[in-house]
Structure 1
Amino acid sequence: MALKTPVSIVAIESLSALGMGREKVWATYLSHRHGIEERSFPGEKAWVAPISEEYKDSIEEVRRSQSHYRKLDETVLFALAVSRMAAHSARWKKNGNFGINIGSSRGATGIFESHHKQFIKEGSTSPWTSPATTLGNISSWVAHDMQTSGPEISHSITCSTALHALLNGVAWIQGGMADRFLVGGSEAPLTPFTVAQMKALKIYAKAGGPFPCRALDLKKDENTMVLGEGAAMACLQAGDSPDSLALIDGIGYATEILESSVSISTEADCFQRSMQMAMGDLHSSQVDAVVMHAPGTIKGDESEFRAVHKVFGPDVPLLTSNKWMTGHTLGASGMLSVEMAVLMLQHQVFIPLPYTGEKPKAKNLNRILVNAVGFGGNAVSILLKRPR
C-alpha cells in the first residue's frame, strides 16, 4: 500500500547483541560476528544472544535516574535507554508533542517470574507487582520519561509487534492526527521460564558450532532458533525530511488461517499478501533486497523463502536475515530488521549470510523490503526507500 504522503525515518537506534548506537551496530554487521553464547539455566543450558556486559552500565544509569525506575523490568529499562538515544538523534526535545507506540511480545518476564516466585513461597506479593508487570507500561513509562503530550500506545502482537507499532505510527501521521511518532519494540526474555517455553516448542537450537543459529540456511536438518534480548526504536516524521535516513515507501499486513498454534502455511500466504500489499503497483525488479523474518526454524525459513519466490518470480532480490547475529528478540525483532535495512541503504552495502556459501553480486540498494511475523500468522511487510 503506497502512502498518501511521505513518512521519513529521521532516527533509528537499538540495543542488542549487535551493540548500542548505529556506528557500533554497523561495525558489528561488517565484522560478521554474532553475539550468541551458551548460558546455564535451571536444569539445562541454552544458546542465547544477550546484550554485552559493556552496556549494562547504560541500563543501570537509566535505573538510577529516577527512584521509580528501580522497580521496573529490563524490558522497560531497555526501552527507556534506546528511546532517549533515538529522540536525541532526531533532535526531539522533552515536553514535545509526539506520539509513542512501543510494544513487547512477552512483557516484564523477569519481574513477573520473580514476583510469582515470591507469591508461591509466601502467599503474598508486592503492591508494585501489578503495575510493574502490566504489558502496557512500556510506552507510558517512556512518555513519562520524555514528558510528551502526544498519544501513547502499547501492544503485544507477538513477533511482529515492532512493525505493527510502525504501522500504527504511519496511520496516525497519514490520518493527520500526529506529525511525529516514536515506534518500536523491547524484549528481555532471557529468563528460565521463557527459555523453557521456547524449548517446549521443539524449535530451539541444540548444537553449537561457529553459528548456533543458522537463519535462512535451507540446508540445515534441525531447528536453530535462539532467543535474544534488546530494543529498537525509530522516529517517524511526516513528509520527505532533509534529515531522512529512509522513506517508508509502502506498508503491508495480513493474517492467515492457522494450521497450528506456532506455524504459518507451507508457502506463507500471509507473507505473500503482506509483501504484495507493501509493493503495490511497484514492479518486483525494483526491490533490491529483503530482510527476512527467518527465525532459524526449518519450516519458518522455508515457508517465507517460498513466499518470496512466489511474489518475485524471476526477480528474486538479495535475501538476508540478522537473527543469526541477534537471536530472535521476539517483539523487538522487526525494528532491528528495519535498522539493518536502513543501515544497508545508508552505506550501500549488503550484509550477506556467512554460512550459506552464496556470494551476492554487488548492486545499488534503493528499496529494501522488511518482513516480520508472529504466532498467529500476523505478517507485516515494510518497504523502505533510499532518500534522495
Structure 2
Amino acid sequence: MKIPISITSVASVSALGSKPDEVWKNYLSPKHFLRKHDFNGNKSFAAFLPDFLKEELEGLRDEDPNYKNIDNSVLYAIQASRQAIKMAGWENGENIGINIGSSRGATALFEKYHQGFLNQGKAETLASPATTLGNISSWVAQDLQSTGPEISHSVTCSTGLHGVLNGVAWLTTGMADKFLAGGSEASLTPFTMAQVKAMKINAREDLDYPCQALNLQKGQNSMVLGEGAAIVCMEAGEKNNALALINGIGYATEKLEHPVSISANGTAFQKSMKMALGTMAASEVDAVVMHAPGTIKGDLSEFNAIKAVFGELLPAMTTNKWKLGHTYGASGVLSLELAIMMLQYQKFIPVPFISEVREPIELRNIMVNAVGFGGNAVSVLIGLPK
C-alpha cells in the first residue's frame, strides 16, 4: 500500500439485524438465520431480514415521495450508508466518493415491471429509471447530499469488495479524501430461487445447519441465499478513529471452462491473496474470512488456494454464510464487517460444525476473500491500527 487507508466505520443490514451490538451478539451465538420459505410453491432455504427491520426500513419510504418507487436494494444501501457516515463522524453534504454495487440490482422491481409489461403490453413510466443499476449509488448520494462521484457496478458476488478496491484507488491517488464503498442485494424472489435450483447448488437437506459452508466432507451443494447491504467508510491516512487499516489488496481473474466454473486449485484466489500479502510474511496472517458459498467445488477450491499460499501453518479459517446466507454482491463486505469486528473484540468466530479449525491466540491481520461468476477474485488484508 502506498499510503495507509483507514476504515473508520462499517454498517450493515442483514438477517443479523442492523445495529453493531446486535450484529456482534448474533455472531457470538451458534444459531443461524436460514429458514425454509415458499417461493410460489417452491420451498427453499433463505435468510430474509427480520420483520422488525423490514418495518423500520419501510418507514424510510414515507420520508420522501421518491422513495416509494425505489427497489429494496436501494433502500438497504441508504439505511446502511446513513449508519456508516454517522459512526464515522461524517456530515451530510460532504464531498464523498461513493461506490456501492450489486450483483443483481433492482431484482424485485425489475420483475414487477416486466410482469406488468407481459400483462399489459406496455411499460410503466418509471420502469427504466427505477431499475438501472446506477440507482443504488445515485440515490445514496441524493440521500446524503454528497457532491462527490457516485459509481454503481456489478462484478457478480465479489461486487462489494471490488467497491473497496475502487475506494482504495481513489484515495491513494488523492482524487478523494473520503470514500463510501460496499454492496447491496435484495434478490430473494421466486425467479432468482428457481435459477439457483436449476444450477443444483442450493441446500436441500433439513440439517441443523442447512448451509454446510467450509465442510469439505459434504456430499452435496448447500448454498443458501440471503439479502442485505454492507458499507464501509474509508479515509486516506491512519486516522485516530480507525477501526482497521487496509494493509493490502489483491485481485485476479482466471480462465473459465464454462460460465460458472472455478479451478480446482483456486488459481484466481492464489493470485489475489499473494497480491494482497505483498511483502508481508504469510505467517503474519492470523485468520481468513473465506468466500465459501457452501458448494462442494467452491469451498474446496478456495481451501486449496489457501493451502498453496500459506503452506503447512494455515491461518484460522471461517465464513459467515452458514449463518446469514450468501448475499451475492453484498457478501464480501459483510465478510469484511465480520473481520473488523473480530479485530475489535479480539474474538475469532468459528463455524460451529467445523471442529478441526485452529483458533488464533491473537488477531492482528485478517484476510477477506470474495469471488464471483466470471472467474474474478478479490482479497483484502486488514489489520489493527498501529
Check whether TM > 0.5. Answer: yes
Name the CA distance, whole Å, in 1 between partners of 2:360 and 2:305: 24
Counting matched residue pairs gives: 386
Deviation of the 1:359 alpha carbon = 5.5
Deviation of the 1:125 alpha carbon = 1.8
Q: Secondary structure of the equivalent of 1:168?
A: helix
CA contact (8 A) 2:9 2:232 kept: yes
Aligned ranges for residues 145-224 of structure 1 at < 5 Å? Answer: 145-224=143-222
CA contact (8 A) 1:284 1:315 kept: no
Amino acid of the structure 2 residue aligned with 1:260: H
CA contact (8 A) 1:284 1:312 kept: yes
Name the CA distance, whole Å, in 2 between partners of 1:33 and 1:387: 31
Aligned ranges for residues 266-281 of structure 1 at < 5 Å? Answer: 266-281=264-279
Q: What stretches of structure 1 move > 2 A for 4+ residues in a row?
A: 357-362
Amino acid of the structure 1 residue aligned with 2:343: L
Quick one: which of 240, 244, 247 aligns to 1:246? 244
Aligned ranges for residues 29-108 of structure 1 at < 5 Å? Answer: 29-108=27-106
Amino acid of the structure 2 residue aligned with 1:336: L
Q: Secondary structure of the equivalent of 1:276?
A: helix
Amino acid of the structure 2 residue aligned with 1:4: K
Q: Secondary structure of the equivalent of 2:104?
A: coil
CA contact (8 A) 2:317 2:357 kept: no
Name the CA distance, whole Å, in 1 between partners of 2:204 and 2:121: 37
Q: What is the aligned partner in structure 1 of residue 7 from structure 2? A: 9
CA contact (8 A) 2:223 2:325 kept: yes
Backbone CA RMSD of aligned residues: 0.8
Q: What is the aligned partner in structure 1 of residue 107 from structure 2? A: 109
What does the per-residue CA deviation read over 1:217-244, in whole Å, with 9 as the maximum and x for residues that have no partner?
0111000000100000000011100100
Deviation of the 1:209 alpha carbon = 1.7
Amino acid of the structure 1 residue aligned with 2:383: K
Which has the larger displacement, 233-242 or 359-368? 359-368
What does the per-residue CA deviation read over 1:186-241, in whole Å, with 9 as the maximum and x for residues that have no partner?
00010011111111111011112210101000111000000100000000011100
Provide the identity percentage.
Answer: 55
- The TM-score with structure 1 as length reference comes to 0.98
Deviation of the 1:361 alpha carbon = 3.7
Name the CA distance, whole Å, in 2 between partners of 1:136 and 1:156: 10
Q: Secondary structure of the equivalent of 1:19?
A: coil
Deviation of the 1:314 alpha carbon = 1.4
Deviation of the 1:338 alpha carbon = 0.2
What does the per-residue CA deviation read over 1:349-369, in whole Å, with 9 as the maximum and x for residues that have no partner?
000110122353441000000
Name the CA distance, whole Å, in 2 between partners of 1:31 and 1:54: 20
Quick one: which of 358, 361, 364 aligns to 1:363? 361
- The TM-score with structure 2 as length reference comes to 0.99
Amino acid of the structure 1 residue aligned with 2:300: E
Q: Secondary structure of the equivalent of 2:230?
A: strand
Deviation of the 1:54 alpha carbon = 1.3
Q: Unaligned stretches of 5+ in structure 1?
A: none
Amino acid of the structure 1 residue aligned with 2:219: D
CA contact (8 A) 1:165 1:184 kept: yes
Quick one: which of 234, 237, 243 aligns to 1:236? 234
Q: What is the aligned partner in structure 1 of residue 126 from structure 2? A: 128
Deviation of the 1:315 alpha carbon = 2.2
Amino acid of the structure 1 residue aligned with 2:101: G
Name the CA distance, whole Å, in 1 between partners of 2:305 and 2:247: 21
